[in-house]
Structure 1
Amino acid sequence: MVLRDTPPFRADHVGSLLRPPELLRARADHAAGLIKDAELRAAEDEAIRSVVELQRRAGLRSATDGEFRRTSWHMDFIYRLGGISPADEKIKVRFHRKNGDIEFTSAALRVHDRIRLDETIFEDDFAFLRDATAGTGVTPKLTVPSPNMVHYRGGPASIDPAVYPDVAEFWSDLAAAYAEQVRRIGEAGCRYLQFDDTSLAYLNDPEQRAMIAERGDDADHLHLRYIEQINAAIAGRPEGMRITTHMCRGNFRSAWTAEGGYDFVAEALFGELDVDGFFLEYDDERSGGFEPLRFVPKGKMVVLGLVTTKSGVLESKDGLKRRIEEASRYVPVDQLCLSPQCGFSSTVEGNELTRDEQLAKLALIVETAEEVWG
């Protein structure tokens, strides 16, 4: 067994990274009107160059921009789709952690017109990352929310029935917009694209399925529609583009939303979703066991998210190796990789650990992967 030359890599990470204090200050100054757009962009550029170098020094084969230009991992993308805008009402999501629940509030979304792609979203951001990694041997990776995220949070109530009297047309337009985004970002040089998705993980939680059923969706089969949507979005992917998905149970200030293993969606997910790799959360008992991995077909990669981003406590290398060995009972070890369980900063606030602790976790992942697969 050897280290891989194509994504996902044996040692990889999900995407978002803790924002440096200098960037947080620049964002605050921009929000207060103290600096202009160009000054904020320059601060972001400097922070991204630095964090790309951090990833390279840690030994990672891929690098993201840390999602440093975003406030939220998903809404910054979704609101730029044609036909979608923030709604007046607010959505409150309860997140759980061991020392008490916290609440995340954001604007809802409204589908007020036919969904379309008016611009290549994050094109300039990716171009900067592409240029920042040029000549380093590191592959630039772009993360975007999956198309399912447009539907999951608001459901049918977020779609104007005057625009889409037939919901099948909503799904068709959404897939077409995403397919065009994939094509265009491929033209910009992207060869490693990740669809971040909470819906397919949330649907394993009986409480989430009950909520989905209460609002009028088919909770027992919605995951099949979501798998179909991603497949439609990536069916025409450019040659040489590797696409992964990360299935998250919620990540906000070290808290989570959903619980439960991947059992409910596993057979359809692993058997039918046409991605090259699956980033899966497996950092604690909330994640369930490795048994669902028995449905992973030959040729698909599983990136085990064994290293938590929820705290700065560093895992043991021997413990990680034991868990990789345990997972290999269900899927061959040559189809496995290692990563953190989620991003370190899905929103601008970040999780409750230090940047030094973040770096130590990335270095641990690289060292462990080299000893297991190198």
Structure 2
Amino acid sequence: MCKVNRYEIVGSFLRPEVLKEVRAAFEAKEITQNELTEVENTEIKKLVEKQKAADLNVFSDGEFRRSYWHLDFFWGLNGVEHNVRDQGYLFQGEETRADSARLDGKIAFNPEHPVFEEFSFLTELVPAEKIRHSIPAPAQLHSELVRGDNADKIAEFYDEEEDLYQDIAKAYRETILHLYELGARQIKLDDCTWGMIADENYSKTKYAEGFDLEGLKKLYVRLNNDAIVDLPEDLSITTHVCRGNYHSTWAASGGYEAVGETLFGQENADAFFLEYDDDRSGDFAPLRNLPADKKVVLGLITSKNGQLEDKQTIIDRIKEASQYVSLDRISLSPQCGFASTEEGNILTEEDQWKKLQLVKEITEEIWG
């Protein structure tokens, strides 16, 4: 069952300054976990009220309890530890913090994973069926575990790579099913792996190294699909694909043509949230690979700056996309969240809500 609205959000919101301050105090061991949680609870309540005022049909906790969109989730799985590498992720003109995730055992479901408390608290504020909870995709975890010298740890716990793949899929599936038991009916898998494969420079480098990129595509789609196989029919699984979103910078560039046939044609998500806010994302032609029972959410409004897009330009682009996907299967959203990491993008909170208002106005003009 696909639960996608015309007027959509991706999930993360700019962190309030007070939240950044108390998180820094917690890291410095100046306050307790309970004190941090109390502030998180208060700020999430405020955010929910703002989402209601913006007339959203789906709600998020803004990822206010996380430092990263992906790493915090990885660290919550059994068999995965928090490590710090010599170098962070390299974005256009910036380097991120150097946190990472690597194995310290076999990967397994953790019944005490923080994601369950994230979701449960939000159900106290809005109906569970109106929450879309975002977690990083299984393919993203694999990508992190083989990143640089992280890969050296794999052989300590796995003799066969196949066993690692199966453990990733199993841990994810059990986590998703437990979220379902808690009331979750909408889960989104955030996934930058496809954006990296689509990057021409990345591909050239990997081909030069003798890397099997076609094999990697098959692995990623298999990992993601195995994690979401045989789920309850009333659980909607969507996925979001982008090219990096850190402090208003980006990491990869390239259209979806290189991955469209595999990603759109084979991944068993109900809908695809796609970055399409500038030329780095290419044209809409790869959407021809989208099966007739799938939907697409076009991320045509950038979350990287506060400048409002021209309404007619966005309307024209949606009509252009409808050459490949019927208009009744298209929705609109920002291209990514406003704060994939706690640093946030370079725009104001007022800008953030104006962007969402623009999304709403455009969808009302097109679809009524």
Same fold (TM over 0.5): yes
Provide the rounded CA distance (Å) in 2 between the counterparts of 1:307 and 1:370: 15
Deviations 1:57-105 (A, max 9, x none): 1121111000000000100000111111134533432211xxxx11113
2:52 aligned residue: 56
Q: Quick one: which of 101, 113, 121 aligns to 1:109?
A: 101
Question: 2: CA distance between counterparts of 1:187 and 1:212?
Answer: 41
Q: 1:161 to 1:29 in 2, by over 3 A?
A: closer
The match for 1:207 is: 201
- Counterpart of 1:90 in structure 2 is 86
What code does the residue aligned with 2:122 have? L
Question: 1:134 corresponds to which letter in structure 2?
Answer: P
Partners in 2 of 1:188 and 1:241 — Cα distance? 12
What residue identity is the alignment partner of 2:127? A
- Alpha-carbon distance in 2 for matches of 1:7, 1:320: 23
Correspondence for 1:40 among 31, 36, 39: 36
Matched, 1:123 2:116: yes
- Secondary structure, counterpart of 2:240 in structure 1: strand
* 1:53 Cα offset (Å): 1.5
Partner of 2:236: 242
Matched, 1:30 2:26: yes
Question: Residue 356 and residue 217 in structure 1: after superposition, are their counterparts in 2 closer, same or farther (change >3 A)?
Answer: same
What secondary structure sits across from 1:195 in the alignment? strand
Q: Are 1:321 and 2:315 counterparts?
A: yes
* Kept in 2: contact 1:179–1:236 (CA 8 A): no
Note the 1:191-340 alignment, pairs <5 A.
191-213=185-207, 217-340=211-334
Partner of 1:170: 164
Call closer, same or farther: CA 1:88–1:370 in 2, change over 3 Å: closer
User: Is this contact kept in 1: 2:2–2:237, CA < 8 A?
Assistant: no
* Greater mean deviation of Cα atoms: 147-156 or 19-28: 147-156
1:220 counterpart SS class: helix
Q: For residue 48 of structure 1, what is the amino acid of its counterpart?
A: I
Aligned equivalents of 2:9, 2:19: Cα separation in 1: 21
Q: 2:137 aligns with which of 126, 146, 161?
A: 146
1:67 corresponds in structure 2 to: 63
C-alpha contact (below 8 Å) 2:80/2:105 kept by paired residues: yes
Query: What one-letter code is carried by the residue in structure 2 that aligns with 1:259?
Result: S
Q: Is the 8 A contact 1:144 1:194 kept in 2?
A: yes
Label 1:167 to 1:217 Cα distance change in 2 as closer, same or farther (>3 A).
farther
Measured in 2, the distance between the counterparts of 1:343 and 1:326 equals: 24
% identical equivalent positions = 39
Distance 1:38 1:170, change over 3 A: same
Q: 1:212 to 1:183 in 2, by over 3 A?
A: farther
Cα distance 1:9–1:90, how it changes in 2: closer, same or farther (>3 A)? farther
Does structure 1 retain, via aligned residues, the 8 Å contact 2:71–2:100?
A: no
The answer to whether the Cα contact below 8 Å between 1:13 and 1:343 also exists between their aligned partners in 2 is: yes
Q: Which amino acid letter does the alignment assign opposite residue 108 of structure 1?
A: S
Cα deviations by residue, 1:238-287 (Å, 9 ceiling, x for unpaired): 23111110001001000000000000110111111101100000000111
Q: Distance in 2 between matches of 1:216 and 1:204?
A: 17
Structure 1 residue 139 displacement after superposition: 0.9
**Structure 1 residues 322, 272: closer, same or farther in 2, change over 3 A?**
same
Q: What does the per-residue CA deviation read over 1:182-239, in whole Å, with 9 as the maximum and x for residues that have no partner?
A: 1111000001100000001210012222444567742233111101111100012223
Match of 1:352 in 2: 346
| Structure 1 residues 34 and 92: CA distance shift in structure 2, 3 A | closer
Q: Is the 8 A contact 1:19 1:350 kept in 2?
A: yes
Partner of 1:185: 179
2: CA distance between counterparts of 1:200 and 1:73?
Answer: 16
What SS class does the counterpart of residue 265 from structure 2 fall into? helix
By percentage of residues, which structure has more helix?
A: 2
Check conservation: 1:59, 1:363, Cα contact below 8 A.
no
Q: Is the 8 Å Cα contact of residues 2 and 271 (structure 2) preserved in structure 1?
A: no
Instruction: Tell me which of 322, 337, 340 is aligned to 1:343.
Output: 337
The answer to whether the 8 Å contact 1:84/1:112 transfers is: yes
Distance 1:91 1:144 in 2: 24
Q: Deviations over 1:103-153 (max 9, x none)?
A: 113233322321101225310110111221139xx8111100001112213
Q: TM-score, normalized by length of structure 2?
A: 0.94
With over 3 angstroms needed to count, the CA separation of the structure-2 counterparts of 1:325 and 1:88, relative to structure 1, is: closer
Question: C-alpha separation between the residues in 2 aligned to 1:197 and 1:209?
Answer: 17
